[in-house]
Copies of this chain bind each other. A is one copy, B any other.
Amino acid sequence: MQVVRTPDDRFVPPPTKGHVSVARPMRWWYVACASSELQRRPLARTLLGIPLVLFRDDAGRPAALLDRCPHRNVPLSLGRVLPSGRLQCAYHGWQLDASGHCRTVPGLCDETDAAGRRAPSFSTLERDGFVWVFATPDSQPTGEPISLPLRSAPGYATIEHVLDVEATVHATIENALDVPHTAFLHRGLFRGSGTPNEICARVRRWGDRVEAEYLGEPRPEGLIGRLLSPSGGTVEHWDRFLLPSVAQVEYRLGPENHLVVTSICTPIGDFLTRQYAVVSFRLRLPAVLVRWLLKPLALRILQQDAVVLSRQTENIRRFGGEQYESTEVDLLGPHIWRLLREAEEGVAATGGAPVLEREVRFRA
């Protein structure tokens, strides 16, 4: 019969530009899970919409396969890891090794390995407490994940937190690096409502990252700022985006306070992003006080962001696309989008001098 599209397919609001800031850079490393999450059992994770099964081979090295048995397409993550380090499917007991090759088909007299009896496999790398996966299977990986040197640097303490956000990686990272919203969405928590000063930011973009450096920024008003630097003073502050999906905020208040918030984002799906937040700091406050005092505030801020991002996502999907109107104050968002799109198309270049450098004045 003729397929009839129901009327809901038509949508009445004024047309959008028909664009959604979703990019899928495939030849990059992403965090698949924390090292501590991957133990004896196979672990199901989704990366860029791709179902993965993670497991450790007999030497404890992480392996990642497409989560689909080549035989009858049951998720391999339903199975179990044998002492040999092979993954055994729950349905018919096929045994796959870390490279995805099928080594045993129970019942079969002639067990010669056949090319089709293979699950695509993803390169893995374990570093800094995370299991990283290269998003293109059966492929020689390029580049390396970012490193997190402060995580084990002397004098530094580190807090980690994982949070799922119903938003694109672009929206999540723009939010994480955006200064102006803090005075409204996080009113009183992060930045105060005092008279704003005109400050200057220098924006520099390279082939694989973009950074805003704030010049002459006063100590943030609000509780957090007052605790960290009771005597006020200016701040050194950088906001960075690093391809494919890392947001980094770095603060220095005088010689003794140093704080780096690294949000490593994993695109689970186009509109679902997992944030692995790693906060390393050396502050004049004792680390234990920071944990007990600041963590609840930080979680409240993250929660407020998560709510507004999910409502933003809902609205964008409802309208069938974005219709953003950016101003000078949107320092990094348009650059982040440009880098993501270039990374998706494979033209991202690393190193060298900035391809763009400019100064922006705004009030904060």
- Chain A residues in the interface with B (C-beta under 8 A): 1-4, 6-16, 18, 20, 22, 24, 26, 48-51, 66-68, 70-75, 78, 88-93, 105-110, 114, 116-117, 120, 137, 171, 178-181, 183-185, 196, 198, 269-271, 308, 311-312, 314-329, 361-364
Known A4-B321, A90-B185; judge A327-B9 contact (CB<8 A). Answer: no
Besides A1-B16, A71-B327, A106-B180, 16 more A-B contacts (Cβ < 8 Å) are A4-B20, A6-B20, A12-B48, A13-B49, A14-B120, A68-B315, A73-B319, A74-B315, A93-B180, A106-B196, A107-B179, A107-B180, A107-B329, A107-B364, A114-B325, A114-B327
- Is the CB–CB distance between B184 and A92 below 8 Å? yes
- Is the CB–CB distance between B8 and A325 below 8 Å? no
- Is the CB–CB distance between B325 and A68 below 8 Å? no
- Is the CB–CB distance between A308 and B137 below 8 Å? no
Question: Whole-angstrom distance from the CB of A346 to the nearest CB of chain B?
Answer: 15
The 7 residue pairs across chains A and B that have the minimum distance between CB atoms: A7-B22, A4-B320, A93-B184, A1-B15, A107-B180, A7-B270, A107-B329
Known A14-B66, A311-B75, A320-B3; judge A196-B107 contact (CB<8 A). Answer: yes
- Is the CB–CB distance between B109 and A198 below 8 Å? yes
Question: Whole-angstrom distance from the CB of A302 to the nearest CB of chain B?
Answer: 15
| Cα of A67 to Cα of B106 in the assembled complex, Å | 47
Q: Give chain B residues whose Cβ lies under 8 Å from the Cβ of A91.
A: 181, 184-185, 308, 312
Nearest opposing residue in chain B for A314, CB measure: B75
Known A78-B311, A117-B325; judge A12-B50 contact (CB<8 A). Answer: yes
Question: Whole-angstrom distance from the CB of A218 to the nearest CB of chain B?
Answer: 14
Q: Give chain B residues whose Cβ lies under 8 Å from the Cβ of A318.
A: 51
Residue from the list B2, B6, B7, B327 in contact with A15, Cβ < 8 A: B2
Question: Whole-angstrom distance from the CB of A119 to the nearest CB of chain B?
Answer: 10
| Cα of A326 to Cα of B102 in the assembled complex, Å | 13
- Is the CB–CB distance between A11 and B3 below 8 Å? yes
- Is the CB–CB distance between B362 and A108 below 8 Å? yes
Question: Whole-angstrom distance from the CB of A78 to the nearest CB of chain B?
Answer: 6
